[in-house]
Amino acid sequence: MDLADATLDELRDALAPAVAANAAFDGWNESALIVAADARGVDHDVARLAFKGGAMTMIDAWFASVDRDMTARFTPEQLAAMKIRARITALVEARLDILAGNREALRRAAAILAMPQNAVRAAKLGWRSADVMWRLAGDTATDYNHYTKRGLLGSIYAATIAVFLQDESEGHADTRAFLGRRIEGIMKFEKAKAGFLARTSHRPSLSRFIGRLRYPVV
């Protein structure tokens, strides 16, 4: 892609993977950005403008590129042919495969995200990735299930990344086993929740009862 007339959003998308590759050596700083800009023939001042938020903007752009790469690995037909557990597992494992070549950059990014001043932004990035995965998996919930599913997956993904960063097993087998156990936990929780809701769906509603007391039917 010719970046001569690219928008700032397009520049961020194009440079983010290269910035991540350099961050493994230089850290998430301007040095990594300048090397990436030079490789793509982008003016330094323009590159700085595109990433004026510093390290967090660089990490944000990189994680967005991982979301895109993960999405590109699957067709809707491929995902539709899988059971929901297999879809989530495949999507998370795809992310791990994409990140595997940049574990040091990820380790440095995790350290920055763990800083107290970055807690809110880190939570938003985790939520965004979980939302992308659930949407690809076919989830269309708009009630509280929308939030519980993403919250659970986000926490599991964060825990899996922590294991992944320390995993030296062949093919990251330990991480995959850890992920499998955690996703099994999600499925059991969702099954138990569905059973509970089914058992309580015909019980009298306290809120409706109070409403009738306040506004009696005439």
Evaluate whether 133 touches 153 at the Cβ level (below 8 Å): yes
One-letter-per-residue 3-state SS of 31-79: HHHHHHHHHHCCCHHHHHHHCCCCHHHHHHHHHHHHHHHHHHCCCHHHH
Q: What per-residue confidence (pLDDT) applies to 136?
A: 96
The tokens of 3 are what? 């970046």
Phi-psi map region of 90: left, alpha, beta (phi>0 left; psi -120 to 50 alpha): alpha
Instruction: Write out the chain's pLDDT in tens, 218 residues.
Output: 678 789 999 999 999 999 999 999 999 999 999 999 999 999 999 999 999 999 999 999 999 999 999 999 999 999 999 999 999 999 999 999 999 999 999 999 999 999 999 999 999 999 999 999 999 999 988 888 899 889 999 999 999 999 999 999 999 999 999 999 988 877 776 666 666 556 655 566 555 555 555 555 44
Helix (H, G, I), strand (E, B) or coil at 135: helix
Q: Which two tokens stand for residue 199?
A: 């058992």
Instruction: Report pLDDT for 73.
Output: 97
User: Which pLDDT does position 9 carry in this prediction?
Assistant: 95
The whole model's pTM is what? 0.84
- Average pLDDT of the chain is 89
Residue 202 per-residue DSSP state: T
Specify whether the CB–CB gap between 111 and 28 falls below 8 A.
no
User: Would you say 58 and 32 are in contact if contact means Cβ atoms under 8 Å apart?
Assistant: yes
**Tokens 């010719």 found at:** 2
* Identity at 69, one-letter amino acid code: D
Predicted pLDDT of residue 38: 96
CB-neighbour burial class of residue 201 (10 A; exposed 0-12, middle 13-18, buried 19+): exposed
pLDDT of residue 218: 46
